[in-house]
Structure 1
Amino acid sequence: MGGMKKIWREAASLILTAHTPRTLSVVQSVLPVQDSPDWSTIFDYQVLMLRRSSKSKFMPSAYVFPGGVLSKEDLSQDWMNYFQRKGRSQDDLEELVLDKPDRPLLMSSEDSKEAVRRDIAFRLTAIRETFEESGILLYMDKNKEGDLASAYTFSEEMELEALRKKVHNDPSELLKLYQELDLIPDLWSLTEWSDWLTPTDLHEQGNRRFDTLFYLCNIGSKPETVLDKAEISALDWTYPGTILHQFYSRQLWLAPPQVYRVKEILYPPGIQG
């Protein structure tokens, strides 16, 4: 496996959920998706979904989680230097490295000079791409409670849009942004969830293939967002049951990874969907 030539692009995606209060105090039982219950009375969270542009070369018009391709800037030694200056030791970072024999192929590298472990780099990719596509910047909040991540609040929408564009045009700008804000990206709130490789027969959705590592992250409330209008045509915070119902009733299209992952967070272990 280590000698296998990678003929696909390596990427990371973020399943981002936000706490939303239930509309009723009485929690109903979970019904089949086809019955389309009022999900706001059942779940206290929504998931961020982005609609890809109809002009996209890969999966046009599909609803997806934010994400994109690993950049060499995500593997830069500058990140490691910054973490250390901000008081994050090598041991802190090693906590993120999953030392298991059966790891996804994209965790292996032919470049022995990579300065950042891939368990760290792909988390940076997921955070960077989420900011590029939605304007949501995750950071370490010293005052946060529990395992919830925090999203930075910018003073003006115009400022957020300008910064989002800078990072989109140059991935190295993400580190500069964290430096200017004196913040640390919250890698520790991202949980590795699954790995998906694009099949070879998905021709109608484009000829590109991606090996994508999916992460899960929860935030305390829905933050301000701004679209990357070149790649994303719509953004929606939605209940998992709602978007699955829309998919099954052919109101929209979800790629197979999104179908599986949304259903997985809709029906936690022990609940049959």
Structure 2
Amino acid sequence: MKSVVQRGWRNASSLIVLNKRYGDLVRASVNYDVLLQTRPSTGAFPNSVVFPGGVAEPADDSDHWLKLFKSFGYTDDDFATFHGVGTPTTLFQPNPILRHIALRITAIRETFEEVGLLICSKDHKSNRNSLYADIIPDVDVKFWQKQISDNPERLLNLCKEYNCYPDIWALYYWSHWLTPCHFNRRFDTVFFVTTLNNKPDNLESSKEVTKVQWESPNGILKKNIQLELELHPPQAYELLRLAHIADIDELTEFGKKRNKHNIDVIYPIVLRAKDGIVLLYPGDDLYPSSLDYYNDAINFKDKTVLELREKSTVVHRLEKLYEEKKSMLILKNYKQNNHINMGDKLLEFYYNEANKV
């Protein structure tokens, strides 16, 4: 997959933050909420609801982070737990372990910059016995948001001032998405999951965010289908996947256990049919056996979207008819690799950007 690097995807991290829900469990169907933010009308993913995150910065790779972690009792053996044999390495070269560390720091830094949530710990390694993430609540958020936004290296200054470190061991490697090459902005993005035991108060959003909200996965999907908000395919897909584990403790344990396992990198391939477009995901019957990252579109102009689906045994795709506002995420006979198997699913959701493919 060397073509990915040549094609100019930007390395990025996204963080799915889950918070334990203590009431209204029947309506939510899960005992946790997801942290989401609404993007402004300009910039990446305009007007859409996304998880916190952003592009990696050189400061996230600094050797000073290793020194900081070691001052709290962490060793090379602890760093090695991030990378397992057989895990994909397109985003994790030249040193997979260091890249795993850096991308977790990216996710934590961007989450703080965007919503003011500082996922850091003050505890020595010997005192850590929880799979939940620690947060630092008593930070001058506005001051440090500006400082770090101006210079990402200043996250290290913040950690030294508050005697803490990014809680990277509480971030679990969840998924890996590549933006289709026909988009102007392309990202090679790792999604991490982290869980909180108590909802933080008074989150401070930055100018990159117009709204911050906590909601259950099904609650967000419902608002999307009612056209109250827009979701991009990775967010809709991950919300659907999350909803299959109702208990946050079980989900956290699952994230910890599969943290080092191989993950199928999801690189959507565009297929143009007679009456719409399809984004093919790995494992689908129509997904190509070899990939061309410069010109990956497939044409089936003589077939309708439904005809293509009915002739496929394994379906792992997003369908969008030209005359419809909504898209359909469809899974049939598809088995996830070392992840939650969602079974046969058909999710209708609103994705306006699909009209521009």
Compute the TM-score of the two structures, normalised by the length of structure 2: 0.64
Which of 65, 73, 81 is matched with 1:79 structurally?
65
Name the counterpart of 2:206. Answer: 228
Which of 89, 95, 118 is matched with 2:81 structurally?
95
Q: CA deviation digits over 1:227-249, x for unaligned, max 9?
A: 012x1111101111111011122
Name the counterpart of 1:34. Answer: none
Structure 1 counterpart of 2:90, which letter? Answer: L
Structure 2 counterpart of 1:53, which letter? Answer: P
- Relative to structure 1, is the Cα distance of residues 74 and 247 closer, same or farther in structure 2, using a 3 angstrom cutoff? same
Which of 67, 73, 93 is matched with 1:108 structurally?
93
- Secondary structure, aligned partner of 1:261: helix
User: Aligned equivalents of 2:8 and 2:41: distance in 1?
Assistant: 25
Q: CA deviation at 1:144?
A: 6.6
- Secondary structure, aligned partner of 1:83: helix
Identity of aligned residues (%): 33
Within 5 Å, give how 1:92-241 maps onto structure 2. Answer: 92-96=78-82, 98-109=83-94, 117-140=98-121, 142=123, 146-154=130-138, 159-202=140-183, 207-224=184-201, 225-229=203-207, 231-241=208-218
Q: CA deviation digits over 1:121-152, x for unaligned, max 9?
A: 10000010000001101123546763111211
User: How well do the aligned residues superpose, as a CA RMSD in angstroms?
Assistant: 2.2
Unaligned stretches of 5+ residues in structure 1: 29-37
Structure 2 counterpart of 1:150, which letter? Answer: D
- 2:122 and 2:163 in contact (8 A); partners too: no
Name the counterpart of 1:21. Answer: 22
Larger-Rg structure: 2
- Relative to structure 1, is the Cα distance of residues 168 and 107 closer, same or farther in structure 2, using a 3 angstrom cutoff? same
Counterpart check, 1:45 vs 2:32: yes
- 1:104 and 1:195 in contact (8 A); partners too: no
Q: CA deviation digits over 1:166-209, x for unaligned, max 9?
A: 1111111111111111112111111000110111334xxxx111
- 2:241 and 2:342 in contact (8 A); partners too: no
User: Aligned equivalents of 1:104 and 1:252: distance in 2?
Assistant: 34
- 1:11 and 1:210 in contact (8 A); partners too: yes
- 2:48 and 2:230 in contact (8 A); partners too: yes
Compute the TM-score of the two structures, normalised by the length of structure 1: 0.83
Structure 1 counterpart of 2:197, which letter? Answer: G
Q: Which has the higher strand share?
A: 2
User: Aligned equivalents of 1:222 and 1:87: distance in 2?
Assistant: 28
- Secondary structure, aligned partner of 1:103: coil
Structure 2 counterpart of 1:92, which letter? Answer: D
Structure 2 counterpart of 1:82, which letter? Answer: L
Structure 1 counterpart of 2:212, which letter? Answer: L
Unaligned stretches of 5+ residues in structure 2: 246-339, 346-357
* Range 64-73 or range 15-24, more displaced: 15-24
Structure 1 counterpart of 2:119, which letter? Answer: L
- 1:138 and 1:185 in contact (8 A); partners too: yes
Structure 2 counterpart of 1:45, which letter? Answer: Y
- Secondary structure, aligned partner of 1:151: coil
User: Aligned equivalents of 1:242 and 1:86: distance in 2?
Assistant: 39
Q: CA deviation digits over 1:9-43, x for unaligned, max 9?
A: 1100000001120236xxx5xxxxxxxxx22xx32
